[in-house]
Structure 1
Amino acid sequence: MNEQKIVHVHLPKNESFKTTLSAGKHELLSDEPESVKGGQDSGPDPYDYLLMGLGSCTLMTVKMYANRKGWQLEDLYLELRHNKRHDKDCANCEDPESKIDVIEKELILKGNLSQEQTEKLLEISKKCPVHRTLEGDIKIESSVST
């Protein structure tokens, strides 16, 4: 049975955008950049956290696989970028305002790896649970309480 994850996010009355995010005993801050009116850049913005979640899951998955195989993976990094752009596959391409979200992942591997191992690790990087969630059908159920 999957354990349900609960994260708490709080935006106090006296803050424009600075939020406190809590996951168990861990506490983080999020904010908008100063380029957004009211933003103080006191923490990563929400899309930064989205990319960091995807990135950490990806690298953990790749490292677990390489370790299981006994491959000589010395270090690994991931560079992620998010943007919105027009795409030939978008549903409303005739609308000039219609854009899709694109996340680019660049996997950087250090170690004594063959081309075949490198290609396999790239394939495995696309199988981390967060990657699968983001590419799958997501249903968000919203409610309100007072």
Structure 2
Amino acid sequence: MTVELARIQGTPMAAELHIREHVLRVDAPVKEGGEDTGPEPHDLYDAALASCKALTVLWYARHKGWTIQDLKTTVERDASQERTGTYRLAVRMQIQADLTDAQWAELQRAAENCPIHKLMTKVTTEISTEIARGVP
């Protein structure tokens, strides 16, 4: 899968992010020279965790035949020590369901094992970057 980003001409920093058939607008906050017309990269990183945990819990419950009436996931970011190597994310999931204590514990384990959580905490990510001259 390829993710593509193209700058929106006439804006200081805004761009269109293309993921499969989906298009998202991304931008930088005003304090960083953007116009804040869309989420910035840290927002997308945090959102990846929130959505992965939610979808993992919903998938797990469905797989088990359990009914989830409602679900809300909130991620609070503390980036105050990011430059010294610590980026903190606190996730709170509010789930409306009629489950036993054992089932709640299973959902907790499922949420803690979502793929993005693992990528953020247990996997070594290797990134290569190439900058090419010219018009795309």
Q: What TM-score results when the alignment is normalised by the length of structure 2?
A: 0.85
Answer yes or no: is 1:18 the counterpart of 2:20: no
Q: Is the 8 A contact 1:73 1:113 kept in 2?
A: no
Equivalent residue pairs, number: 132
In structure 1, runs of 5+ residues without a counterpart are: 87-96
CA deviations 1:83-115 (Å, max 9, x no partner) are: 2245xxxxxxxxxx6241111111111011122
Answer yes or no: is 1:72 the counterpart of 2:78: no
Q: Is the 8 A contact 1:107 1:122 kept in 2?
A: no
Answer yes or no: is 1:139 the counterpart of 2:126: yes
CA deviations 1:30-54 (Å, max 9, x no partner) are: 11223x1532111111111112222
Question: What does residue 4 of structure 2 align with?
Answer: 8
Q: Is the 8 A contact 1:33 1:40 kept in 2?
A: yes
Aligned with 1:78: secondary structure?
strand
1:81-120 maps to which residues of 2 (within 5 A)? 81-86=76-81, 98-120=84-106
Q: Hey, which of these two has a bigger chunk of helix by percent?
A: 2
Shift of 1:75: 1.4
**In 2: Cα distance, 1:15 partner to 1:40 partner:** 8
CA deviations 1:54-82 (Å, max 9, x no partner) are: 22121111111111111232111110122
Runs of 4+ in 1 over 4 A off after TM superposition: none
Answer yes or no: is 1:43 the counterpart of 2:43: no
Identity percentage of aligned residues? 24
Out of 106, 115, 130, the residue aligned to residue 129 of structure 1 is 115
Letter in 1 for 2:109: E
Question: What does residue 92 of structure 1 align with?
Answer: none
Shift of 1:12: 4.5
Letter in 1 for 2:70: D
